Amino acid sequence: MCLGAQARAQNEAARRQYKAANEKRESNWMQQLSVQNLKNVQYEQNMDRSGLAMQNVRSDVQRQKLEARQTAELKYEQAYANILKNSKYSKLLASGATGRSAARAGRLESAEYGKKVAEISRKVLLTDAELERQAAKQTTKLKGFRDEQFANVVFEPIPDAKPPVPVMQSVGAAAFMDALSIGSSLMAFSDRRLKENIKKIGESISGLGIYTFNYIGKGTKYIGTMADEVLKVRPEAVVVSNGFMAVNYQLIDVNFKEIK
């Protein structure tokens, strides 16, 4: 395969690879968006559920506090009823006693009732503190859960970097290299644009100039002719490949050869 054909094949392969890379990038991006959308939906649901759970924690605390106070009220009433039922002070008063012993009994019973009330109140306060502690623990756990959920969606996905645009091979340059690779072939590129150091050394019987030259950038020297002259004398001996003219030396009276 000549270099020009190879360049075209490489360019086509590069285009296919670039297209495939872009299609894969787009597919990955759509998949990332789909996953992110699902995460966002799940996040909203989890926020609603955790928010409701936090409300339920507070409601439950308030309910238990209310129940504790209602229980305390019953205990207050029971304690007062017990004192009245077993009150020595009341019995002394009923018997007409109003002296120091009656007063002392009254003070003792009041102190006992106060002690009961203080004990009940203390239990209510301890219950409140324990309920708040438990509520804070549950609330902290729920807040941690909400933070974790937020961390899952806070960073929006970004598409992968675009694949680099392929560097296409120059078909013309490859054809030029084809020309430069010619040694003793009977079909040789003879386009002036491919040559340098051109020097005319003679002329063939048919009037074609005979030249020495080397292909651009190459050190090897050749003897041959110029395709533009052959085109005027023997056009059938000239072919065009990749934009450059080549000469079939079998059809002209000039030999193409390398100068040793």
Cβ-Cβ contacts under 8 Å for 60 (sequence gap 6 or more): 135
The 3-state DSSP composition of the chain as helix, strand, coil percent (nearest 5) reads: 65, 15, 20
Please check the confidence at residue 1 and state whether its pLDDT lies above 50. Answer: no
Q: Please answer whether residues 15 and 166 qualify as being in contact, where contact means their C-beta atoms are separated by less than 8 angstroms.
A: yes
pLDDT digits (tens, 9 = 90+) for 140-167: 999 999 999 888 888 788 888 888 887 7
Predicted local confidence at residue 70, as pLDDT: 93
pLDDT digits (tens, 9 = 90+) for 190-205: 899 999 999 999 999 9
Highest mean pLDDT among 10-19, 90-99, 100-109, 173-182: 10-19
pTM for the predicted model, two decimal places: 0.50
pLDDT digits (tens, 9 = 90+) for 213-252: 999 988 899 999 999 999 999 999 998 877 889 999 999 9
pLDDT digits (tens, 9 = 90+) for 23-52: 888 888 889 888 889 889 998 999 999 999
Please check the confidence at residue 170 and state whether its pLDDT lies above 80. Answer: no
Interior CA angle at 236 toward 199 and 201, to 5°?
A: 15
Predicted local confidence at residue 53, as pLDDT: 93
Which of 176, 164, 165 lies closest to 7 in space, CA to CA?
Answer: 176
Q: How far apart (Å, rounded) are the C-alpha atoms in residues 18 and 25?
A: 10
Predicted local confidence at residue 184, as pLDDT: 44
pLDDT digits (tens, 9 = 90+) for 68-103: 999 999 988 888 888 777 777 677 767 777 678 778
Give the domain ranges of the chain: 3-153, 171-258
Burial of 176 (0-12, 13-18, 19+ CB in 10 A): buried
Predicted local confidence at residue 3, as pLDDT: 54
Predicted local confidence at residue 183, as pLDDT: 42
**Lowest mean pLDDT: which of 60-69, 108-117, 142-151, 199-208?**
108-117
